[in-house]
Structures are given as C-alpha cells and as structure tokens.
Amino acid sequence: MTSAEVVIVGGGIVGSSIAFHLTEAGCTDVLVIERETHQGKGSTGKSMGGVRAQFSTPVNIRMSLYSIPFYASFEERLGHPAGYRPQGYLFVATSDAHLRYLRANYERQVALGLKNVRLLPREEIIQAFPQLRSDDIVGGSFCSTDGFVDPYSAMVGFMKCAEQRGARLWRETQVTSIARDGNAIAGVETTRGHVATRKVVNAAGPWAAQLAEFAGIDLPVAPLRRMLVPTEPFDQFPRSAPMIIDMSNGFHFRPESLGFLFAWNDPEERPGYNMNFEPSFLEKILTRAANRVPVFENVPVNPKRAWAGLYEMTPDHHPILGPVPEVPGFFLANGFSGHGVMHAPATGKILSDLLLRGQTDLIDARLLNLQRFAEGRMIEETAVL
C-alpha cells in the first residue's frame, strides 16, 4: 500500500510550490497527484504571468513582498529559470477617485515595506508613453519590481527541486474519494489505488470545490473564464513597457514575444467550466485597446492564437489558506482569484509552515481561513484585474 506524510492534490504552480517548500523544510515524504498527462494544463499554463505588489490589502501586499523577491532570486536558489522580468506595473488613473484610491494603496504599500512604488504625475506618464490617449489621464502609480514571470517554467522548477529531495509526482491520476477516520483524514482513493495519509492539501485550482466535497466541505470557490489575446509582432509601442492598466475600464496589456498580450475582465462572464475562446470577445477587447492606445487600431491579431483559462474566484477575491478544523488533516490552498501564479511562492511557504508547525510568520493566517465567510470577516481586494 502507498503512503505519504503529505498528499497534495493538484500539480500546478501552487501545488508545486507547496511541495518545494515542504521538502526545503525537511518534509520529503510528499506525493503530488496531477489529473492531467502533464503539469500546467489547468490554470498555470494559461496565466498571463503578471507579478505585482500594488494591492489594496495588507495580506496581499505581504504575500507579494515574499513572492516577488523569491522570483527575482529563483534561478539562483533553484537552478532553474522562472523568467522574471521586472518591467513594472503602471496603473493609469482617469479620475480623482482613482487617484485617491491609488494614494491610499500607495501609503499602505510603503508602510508595509514596499520600496519601489511611486505615484506619478500625469505629465510623466504622457512623456514616457506618448502613444497613450492622454486627454483623460490624471496620474497613476508605478512599481519597478512588479513585472512578469513564466508560470510554466516556475512550476517546473518548483517540482524538479521537490522531486530531487524525494517528493513524488503522479500524473494522469484522479482522486476519486477521501477516506476519513471519524472526521480526520485517513487517506485518498485514486485511480492508481489507495494512499494512506493524515494530511491532504487541496491545490486543485478551479476544481477545488469538487475535491472539498469529498471531505464534506462546502468550499466557496467558483471557476470563471478569462480570455487573453496575443497580438502578432508589433513595433509601434515600446518593448520595454510595463504592464499598463487602464483604470477607466480595466483593460490591461504587456509586451509578449514580439507583440503584446491583451487582457480584459468581461463583466458579462458567468461562473462555469467553459474554456473555449469566444470570438465575439475580440471586438470588445480590441475596441478598448484602440481607445487607450490609438496605434493599436492597426495591431494584427490571429484569433486562433487567443485562448481562455479559468480563474478560481472566492467571494472576497482572496485565497482560502490553511486547515479546516472540522476535518483534521485537510488543508486548503484555493481561490486565488487570478493571483495564484504571483502568490505561489508565499502560498508554498505559508502552507508548509501550517502543515509542519501549525503557524506561520509570513501573514496572519486567520485572515485567510475558511471560517471567515461564516463569521462575516471577508476582506475585499479591490485591485483585481
């Protein structure tokens, strides 16, 4: 019979980071169970790969303050590239309300130790990027250590290191049920047989609620489709540009390969497992692109290269991390609401601490526990892209 000290269900970047941090802390009897033939076929491989510390809540800022320096030193620490490019995030404000919001966030970020964030006057933004339509721009905020990573490469790096220390990865394996001894975790049933364990981590991404049901838990995590549109090669906007966010409508874009990658959160999307790209989305996003960057009116796009993936949303856009008291041994790492890649390093550290020590110094873990919803302690993140 197979056994493991910790079983992690989900081999994406979050599960891989947890495996890495566990093995780094000396817990090497770790089994990661991945349902697909290859890792990263869920949300990880479809991510935009942005990393930023410009959030509105202290807990998200703290997670970024661990994660971004981790990505910056990833290759040095793990011997594998993560593709970190510190080109920054630029939030472009188009109203006084936006400016007040950015200033409040800025003050919170600086108070927590973020050193490279600045509030920018209108003139500086226009001077840096004259291609932007600027009649309504009133200012913005920029952080030079924000930027992008290669989610797939980082995931592989985490898992390779974990495996080198003794962790095991089962691909093409589904968890079919969770065995309990009274209320406590006793093991998992899989398509490869029973695995005895006292600790199971739910890192199943958009499918987290289904796994939680096996343990008798109602998990408020719902999948929501997000679509991304890469352009063909395009040289009429700087390749050195940061991620630029148009706060008037949420359209954002960044350099990608020889072109750009466009994203926009369509408010008409409804929860579900639809991962098909919707062709009508092209007109919506290209209209917003050309509205903020007039030269994008001529940007070439091949619809066949566009794709869709799933966010895993919670009611307050914060993840659900840590143990479930009603089911001893069942741990959650779910509901990142689009921030799974950027906060994967912090999540790995937090879950490793909670699994092995029952506490973590990185954040106040109670803020992100499952009980917050029943107790009315939701913490709303408003800086969601």
* Helix/strand/coil percent split, the chain, to 5: 30, 25, 45
**Residue 213 pLDDT:** 98
What are the b/e assignments for 330-339, b being 16+ CB within 10 Å?
A: bbbbbbbbbb
Q: Is the pLDDT of residue 314 over 70?
A: yes
Q: What is the pLDDT of residues 337-356, one digit of tens each?
A: 999 999 999 999 999 999 99
pLDDT confidence band for 383 (50 / 70 / 90): low
The count of residues in the chain is 385
- The CATH number of 87-145+223-313, from 3.40.718.10, 2.40.50.140, 3.30.9.10, 3.30.2010.10, is 3.30.9.10
Q: What integer pLDDT is reported at residue 131 of this predicted model?
A: 98
Cβ(311)–Cβ(288) below 8 Å: no
Q: Where in the chain is the domain with CATH 3.30.9.10?
A: 87-145+223-313
Interatomic CA distance for residues 205 and 73, integer angstroms: 26
pLDDT per position as a tens digit, 147-188: 999 999 999 999 999 999 999 999 999 999 999 999 999 999
Is residue 288 within 8 A of residue 246, CB to CB? The reply is yes
Domain 2-49+151-221+315-374 has CATH 3.50.50.60: yes
The mean pLDDT of 274-287, rounded to a whole number, is: 96
Residue with the two structure tokens 């999948």: 223
- Give the number of other Cβ atoms within 10 Å of residue 50's Cβ: 23
How high is the mean pLDDT of the chain? 96
- Which residue is it, tokens 């969770």? 178
- Whether residue 46 is predicted with pLDDT greater than 90 in this model: the reply is no
What is the pLDDT confidence band of residue 230, given thresholds at 50, 70 and 90? very high
Q: Which two tokens stand for residue 131?
A: 């291609």
Task: Express as a percent the part of the chain with pLDDT over 90.
Answer: 94
CB-CB neighbours of 148 under 10 Å: 26
Joined together, the tokens standing for residue 118 give: 């600045």
User: What is the distance between the alpha carbons of residues 229 and 253, in angstroms, rounded to a whole number?
Assistant: 9
Q: Quickly count helices (H) and strands (E) in the chain.
A: 10, 20
Residue 259 pLDDT greater than 70, yes or no: yes
pLDDT at 327 over 90: yes
- 146: phi then psi, degrees, rounded to nearest 5: -65, 165
Q: Give pLDDT, residue 75.
A: 97
- pLDDT at position 384, please? 62
Q: Could you report the per-residue pLDDT of 54-98, keeping only the tens digit for each? A: 999 999 999 999 999 999 999 999 999 999 999 999 999 999 999
Provide the percentage of residues in the chain whose pLDDT is more than 70.
99
